[in-house]
């Protein structure tokens, strides 16, 4: 597992250019001001894992409309994204079957009540 290396100064500079305060970023990203300051100052505090920090940095970059590659220089490969997508695809067929069965049951129940009520 590789370590997360990034340049938080790029985030701070971009935020300053847009005349945004740390509290504005914190509110928009559902973070604390301390977490925003931790990201901008390359501190390891306030995040329990590098994967979480990496995800937050990506969201921060999207918010400021800057290229994530200008901030993150080395990252951890996030395998959960692909496995989640694959799991979602396999569950899509299951949910369609459930919907189909429920629709058939509702149709049959409606017909039963119309014929025998």
pTM passes above 0.75: no
Mean pLDDT, residues 91-113 taken together: 79
For residues 68 and 109, state if they share a domain.
no
Co-location of 12 and 45 in the same domain: yes
Q: Do 62 and 15 belong together in one domain?
A: yes
pLDDT (tens digit, 9 = 90+) per residue, 72-81? 887 755 555 5
Alpha helices (runs of H) in the chain, residue ranges in sequence order:
8-17, 22-29, 33-40, 50-64, 79-116
Residue 15 makes CB contacts below 8 A (sequence gap 6+) with 22, 25, 40, 64
- Percent of the chain residues topping a pLDDT of 70: 81
What domain range is 14 assigned to? 5-74
What would the mean pLDDT of 61-65 be, rounded to a whole number? 93
């Amino acid at each position: 597992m590789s370590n997360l290396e990034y340049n938080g100064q790029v985030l701070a500079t971009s935020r300053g250019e847009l005349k945004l305060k740390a509290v504005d970023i914190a509110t928009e990203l559902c973070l604390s001001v301390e977490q925003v300051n931790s990201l901008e100052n390359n501190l390891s505090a306030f995040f329990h894992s590098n994967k979480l920090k990496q995800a937050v940095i990506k969201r921060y970059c999207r918010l400021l409309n800057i290229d994530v590659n200008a901030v993150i220089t080395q990252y951890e490969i996030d395998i959960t994204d692909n496995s989640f997508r694959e799991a979602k695809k396999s569950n899509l067929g299951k949910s369609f079957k459930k919907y189909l069965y429920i629709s058939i049951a509702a149709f049959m129940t409606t017909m039963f009540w119309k014929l025998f009520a």
